[in-house]
């Protein structure tokens, strides 16, 4: 089936009352009257698919399922598909047609969300307005809503999204699987690119307008589809390569892929070649070289001079030379073409190991620590909305959403930091997030930096995050998690034989949980 596009169909306006068989507002239920439970309570929030709480109320509520919810107030115009049974607030309206598939609902939700531009906090969507509201939809030859097109289009886009998710997570899975499988058992040494590749050559510029449709892959600086940006038939003024790596110099800088077949290279990529290398060695090298993504960026590209000086850390044999055989053997264990089977094996193996270790963990000693004995606690800096200057740097506020990010600014102050845990002492009290990247912190957020420099990494911080969250019930908006309380807050941590925090244990547990989550995600979309 050819690719479906939104401009390939005719569109027509329809009233809500023409397409939905049931349009009904939810029922008012105050926060104080909500009873904790397992049923989603959908209100007028624009996050978490509209879910504001989980409750168990059965009396004086309105339940729905398999429909859309439209926010009438608050985040006016926010629209979400609700697949399962839920309770609706009086701030949302349920839009239902039992004949609609999930895909049709998802298509409609994306179209209806445009109402956000029409309404606002001061102009809500009341019952009268919603009865008159219209939506523009694709139509068939008879001028009726083309439900089949909507369904097929969403299926197409979801498939595309699934591919993107796999492209993003599978390399991470490989890296993490390598750590779990014992990649750290060999010695490593630094080598220059010029020492390991016999040919390092940039591709040649070829504009979009000069590309002629064909069968030869055209490799550019994209991070998806193995770097393939187009298929062309150009023969003149191009550079062709095969059986090598491609490294993106600009765009998705640092993206690195193995190209088994002949291709044409853009001037935005550099071919890295050694005719003696096997596929397995190339795949190993690509995963290591991809770490350059952390070093370079859109504003700092990999030019020819930089690439000639660039180095890569590789496993070595007893003579200190690159251990090509080890690399090949390792990739065979983690063969990309058999990733699903390999990951399943590792998953099963690690599940067994984890449960075994979990049983042992019951005998692992735990000990109380003052939070200030484990972490340095530093304050953020007040930055008002009016003083913010738009930019690319995350600003961390006291929210429980979006990893704590409430804005993107160009402002700098003494709170600028990275590789820390941001803990809310105000607002959504005790909620906390790990920030690997450089960001600026609000005065409502404290920065926690592990005192032991050797273990300042993502996994330890994520472990601490969960430990600190255990204190959430203790604090509230009226009883803030301020600096003095934070310093003298007791937390329970696993300890080693010396009685010091067992950070290695924490790392191992969090690595496994990360692997498990990614495995479940990839399994769900296969």
- pLDDT band at residue 175 using 50, 70 and 90 as cut-offs: low
Query: Does the structure show a pLDDT above 80 at 171?
Result: no
Could you give the domains of the chain?
A: 6-145 (3.90.220.20), 187-322 (3.90.220.20), 366-501 (3.90.220.20)
Please, which contacts does 44-47 make with residues 24 or more away whose CB atoms are closer than 8 Å? 44/71, 44/72, 44/73, 44/74, 44/75, 44/76, 44/78, 44/89, 44/91, 44/92, 45/71, 45/74, 45/75, 45/78, 46/71, 46/74, 46/75, 46/78, 47/401, 47/402
Note if the pTM is more than 0.75: no
**What residues form DSSP beta bridges with 495?**
501
Helices (H), 113-192: 127-132, 147-181
Instruction: Encode pLDDT of 411-441 as tens digits.
Output: 999 999 999 999 999 888 999 999 999 999 9
Contact predicate 151/107, CB 8 Å: yes
3-state SS class at 201: strand
Report the pLDDT value the prediction gives residue 337, as an integer from 0 to 100.
Answer: 44
Contact predicate 512/350, CB 8 Å: yes
Instruction: Encode pLDDT of 31-66 as tens digits.
Output: 889 998 889 999 988 888 899 889 999 999 999 999
Q: Which candidate, 23, 41, 39, places its Cα nearest to that of 93?
A: 23
Report the pLDDT value the prediction gives residue 356, as an integer from 0 to 100.
Answer: 45
């Amino acid at each position: 089936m050819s690719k479906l596009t939104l401009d390939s169909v005719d569109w027509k306006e329809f009233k809500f009352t023409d397409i939905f068989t049931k349009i009904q507002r939810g029922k008012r239920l105050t926060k104080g009257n909500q009873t904790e439970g397992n049923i989603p309570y959908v209100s007028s929030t624009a996050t978490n698919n509209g879910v504001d709480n989980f409750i168990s109320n059965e009396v004086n509520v309105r339940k729905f399922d398999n429909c859309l919810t439209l926010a009438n107030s608050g985040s006016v115009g926010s629209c979400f598909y609700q697949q399962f049974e839920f309770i609706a607030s009086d701030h949302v309206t349920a839009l239902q047609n039992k004949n609609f598939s999930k895909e049709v609902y998802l298509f409609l939700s994306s179209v209806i969300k445009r109402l956000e531009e029409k309404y606002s906090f001061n102009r809500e969507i009341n019952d009268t307005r919603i009865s008159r509201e219209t939506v523009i939809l694709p139509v068939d030859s008879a001028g009726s809503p083309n439900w089949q097109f909507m369904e097929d289009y969403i299926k197409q886009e979801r498939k595309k999204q699934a591919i993107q998710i796999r492209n993003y997570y599978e390399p991470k899975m490989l890296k993490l699987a390598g750590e779990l499988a014992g990649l750290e058992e060999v010695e490593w040494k630094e080598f220059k690119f010029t020492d390991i590749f016999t040919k390092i050559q940039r591709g040649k510029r070829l504009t979009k307008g000069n590309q002629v449709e064909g069968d030869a892959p055209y490799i550019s600086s994209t991070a998806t589809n193995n770097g393939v940006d187009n298929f062309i038939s150009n023969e003149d003024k191009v550079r062709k390569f095969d059986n090598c790596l491609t490294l993106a110099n600009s765009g998705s800088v640092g993206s690195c892929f193995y190209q088994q077949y002949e291709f044409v290279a853009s001037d935005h990529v550099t071919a890295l070649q050694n005719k003696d290398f096997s596929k397995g060695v190339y795949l190993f090298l690509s995963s290591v070289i991809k770490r350059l993504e952390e070093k370079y960026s859109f504003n700092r590209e990999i030019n020819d001079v930089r690439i000639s000086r660039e180095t890569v850390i590789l496993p070595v044999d007893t003579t200190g030379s690159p251990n090509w055989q080890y690399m090949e053997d390792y990739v065979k264990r983690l063969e990309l073409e058999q990733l699903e089977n390999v990951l399943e094996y590792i998953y099963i193996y690690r599940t067994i190991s984890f449960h075994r270790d979990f049983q042992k963990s019951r005998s692992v000693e735990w000990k109380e620590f003052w939070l200030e004995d484990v972490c340095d606690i530093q304050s953020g800096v007040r930055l008002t909305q009016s003083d913010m200057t738009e930019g690319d740097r995350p600003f961390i506020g006291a929210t429980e959403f979006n990893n704590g990010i409430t804005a993107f600014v160009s402002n700098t102050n003494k709170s600028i930091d990275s590789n820390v845990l941001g803990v809310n002492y105000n607002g959504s009290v005790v909620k906390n997030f790990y920030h690997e990247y450089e960001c600026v912190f609000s005065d409502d957020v404290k920065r926690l930096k592990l005192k032991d420099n050797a273990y300042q990494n993502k996994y330890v911080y994520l472990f601490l995050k969960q430990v600190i969250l255990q204190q959430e019930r203790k604090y509230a908006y009226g009883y803030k998690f301020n600096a003095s309380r934070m310093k003298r807050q007791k937390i329970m941590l696993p300890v080693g034989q010396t009685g010091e925090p067992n950070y290695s244990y924490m790392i191992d547990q969090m690595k496994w949980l990360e692997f498990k989550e990614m495995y479940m995600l990839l399994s769900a979309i296969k």
